[in-house]
Structure 1
Amino acid sequence: MNIVFVRHGSTELNHKHVYAGVIDSEISQKGIEEIKSIKKYLQKIKFHEVYSSPLKRAVKTTELLDENYKIDSRLSEMNFGIFEGLSYSEIESKYARESKAWVKDTLNYKIPKGESLIEVFNRTKAFIEEVSSKRGDILVVTHGGVIACALSLVFNQYDYFYRFKIMHGTASVISIEDGYMYIKAINCRDNIMDVL
């Protein structure tokens, strides 16, 4: 079976380059166009089930792709807590002590009022393990952080997280066969049919 992960269309906050994990922003006009562009290829695939993060930008993206879907909170973006809505330089300036602790241990440091990256990994892993027993291909509309976690889990290497750059409005595919998981594609747009 294939799990096709689609990153939501871009938002105005994405264009501002701030940390916007659980800030519930809508997708921009550019984001809508990104999703319309990939839809013509995704609609050729028969998905057994469709899942979405509960955040507005993911739900809107999902609704543009398919009207029948399930919300799963495990697919939410990382909660950046006190860092939400700030650029990295603003985080360094406003929260010097916390930002240094975060950089020192990006996997395990729990951002105040937010979560740690390991928590995002754990919920992503739990989701994949649950859906991997299903039959047929699955569409998952989520966020860059969750997709980077999923791709890293293929290697069982959490430190690979920062080696993946997931673009808005693209599809990345993980295939699971007989308990073996591998990556079929990353950041696909018009060639998604070629890899399934």
Structure 2
Amino acid sequence: MDIILIRHGESEDNIKRVLSTDETPLTKKGEMQIERIKPLVAELDFKDVYISPLKRTIMTSEILEINGSLENRVREIDFGIFKGLGYEEFMKVYPEEGKKWVSDIKNYQIPNGESLKMTYQRVVDFLEEIINIGENSLVITHEGIIKLAFSWVFDSDEYFNKFMASNGSVNIISIDKDYKFIKKLNARG
């Protein structure tokens, strides 16, 4: 079975280089990135569709003309008090919290947000539920979630920074009995 992971197109927060907010929309370029992958997505075989409930992923699903269930477990990492801020800005506004997060990104829970480890667990719970259903599934989500899903292939959140998921990309994880592998990475039409 395949789990198809689509990253939303470029968003306004991507351009600003800030930790994204929930309501940031796609840019015109982001819309075009999704238009470009429509033929590729049309060729894929999937039954179930799960969509992060954030604006940029909903816009992505609308452009792809794909309906599905809104799924909180595939929403982006919750950056809490850092949302909408770039690195230099959150280090200035929240220096103590920023230092703690940068020194232990995996375990430090951002105030009003979550740690990478917490996010990894919710992603793993979701992916294992999908495997139990046993049908090819398509997920419209975010880079952080895709990177954690790829880490799950190796059964460890240690691989988070080893991957990149481009805006408007199609990524596929295949499961064959007890084996998980990355079948497609950053395909863009």
TM-score, length of structure 2 as denominator length: 0.96
Matched, 1:54 2:53: yes
Name the CA distance, whole Å, in 2 between partners of 1:120 and 1:176: 21
**Correspondence for 1:166:** 165
Q: Confirm or deny: 8 A CA contact 1:47 1:137 kept in the other structure.
A: yes
**Correspondence for 1:40:** 39
Structure 1 runs not aligned, ≥5 long: 191-196
**Correspondence for 1:12:** 12
Note the alpha carbon deviations across 1:15-69, whole angstroms, 9 max, x for none. Answer: 010011x431111111110000001111122321111001011011012223321
Residues 3-12 or 156-165, more deviating: 156-165
Name the CA distance, whole Å, in 2 between partners of 1:150 and 1:71: 18
Name the CA distance, whole Å, in 2 between partners of 1:71 and 1:152: 23
Q: Secondary structure at the match of 1:51?
A: strand
Q: Confirm or deny: 8 A CA contact 1:23 1:85 kept in the other structure.
A: no
Name the CA distance, whole Å, in 2 between partners of 1:102 and 1:173: 30
Please give the root-mean-square deviation of Cα atoms over the aligned residues, in Å. Answer: 1.1
Matched, 1:104 2:103: yes
Q: Secondary structure at the match of 1:133?
A: helix
Name the CA distance, whole Å, in 1 between partners of 2:134 and 2:22: 34
Q: Confirm or deny: 8 A CA contact 1:49 1:139 kept in the other structure.
A: yes
Counterpart residue identity of residue 15, structure 1: I
Note the alpha carbon deviations across 1:91-114, whole angstroms, 9 max, x for none. Answer: 111111111111221111000111
Name the CA distance, whole Å, in 2 between partners of 1:91 and 1:68: 36
Q: Confirm or deny: 8 A CA contact 2:22 2:55 kept in the other structure.
A: no
Sequence identity (%):
40
Q: Confirm or deny: 8 A CA contact 1:4 1:174 kept in the other structure.
A: yes
Name the CA distance, whole Å, in 2 between partners of 1:78 and 1:47: 25
**Correspondence for 2:156:** 157
Name the CA distance, whole Å, in 2 between partners of 1:136 and 1:45: 13
Q: Secondary structure at the match of 1:139?
A: strand
Counterpart residue identity of residue 23, structure 1: D
TM-score, length of structure 1 as denominator length: 0.92
Name the CA distance, whole Å, in 2 between partners of 1:28 and 1:39: 17
Counterpart residue identity of residue 16, structure 2: K
